[in-house]
Amino acid sequence: MNRTEERPVALVEEEAHAWRPATARARFRQGLTGPTAGVAAGHTQANLISVPADWAYDMLLFCQRNPRPCPVLDVTDAGSVTTVLADGADLRTDLPRYRVWEHGELVDEPTDVRAHWRDDLVSFLIGCSFTFEWALAAAGVPLRHLEQNRNVPMYVTSWQCRPAGRLRGPMVVSMRPVPPRHLSAAIRETGVMPAVHGGPVHCGDPSALGVADLGRPDFGDPVELEPDDIPVFWACGVTPQAAVMASGVPFAITHAPGRMFLTDARDDQYRVA
């Protein structure tokens, strides 16, 4: 389900790249929506998935067994709406848009989930590739989705994650077109940030991932490639949502794809070299 009518926040608000994370969260709490690529430069963005406590161990094990798409930054106590990653934040209100799931089916996409919240929910904050886009830009790697005012395209692949308990499902990937002369920089800059997905999982022919048409992403927006661009794919934190669908999880709350949680953490905290 794409929402192409929602323009990226950084494009709606020209100064969004300079916002403090707390400013971004306050704007989302007030109703600003749209993809968060380009917001709060230098700060870590995170995927959100909240599941009932009796599913939390399965989710934790799923993330541990599949660290490329599911690198865990924080796990909350049951019922908690706060995280050590963002002082004063409320996980129920401070994202641009959420998704609510029942028995693996999407039932709502609100901008505030207080009406859906349950006291048994355990929340997982998972690293997001928007975090390393600042490093890519600094290295001269073009970001076509930002150039074209679009959400990053994401695809459900034929690559199956390692199952964990009751959870199973395919890996989801995000795609960024990269000119050949910038490919080594893209691999180098992202490879040193495994907590936000690390280096690419595949470069080139999308059919190797079971992706038939780059022009029809499963999430996000299609992005036009320049003639010499190589499609480069990174593991994506929407993967737990694919697991929710595949496994029929009774209830879950997640972020809407591309609409992330802005943390107070700095990108450099997650560089390993």
Interval 131-146: pLDDT, tens? 999 999 999 999 999 9
Of 10-24, 51-65, 161-175, 254-268, minimum mean pLDDT range: 10-24
Please, which pLDDT band fits residue 80 given cuts at 50, 70 and 90?
very high
Q: How many CB atoms lie within 10 A of CB 68?
A: 17
From residue 85, give the alpha-carbon distance in Å to each of 90, 133, 141, 157, 228: 11, 19, 28, 30, 39
Mean pLDDT for the stretch of residues 27-37:
92
| Per-residue pLDDT at 7 | 67
CB 215 within 8 Å of CB 144 = no
Distance CA 187, CA 185 (A): 5
pTM: 0.93
Residue 12 has pLDDT above 70, yes or no: no
Could you give the domains of the chain?
Answer: 9-130+246-270 (3.40.1640.10), 131-235 (3.30.2040.10)
Residue 153 has pLDDT above 90, yes or no: yes
Mean pLDDT for the stretch of residues 112-133:
97
Between these two residues, 173 and 18, which has the higher pLDDT value? 173
Residue 273 has pLDDT above 90, yes or no: no
| Per-residue pLDDT at 124 | 98
Mean pLDDT for the stretch of residues 202-225:
97
Among 84, 190, 103, residue whose Cα is nearest residue 138: 190
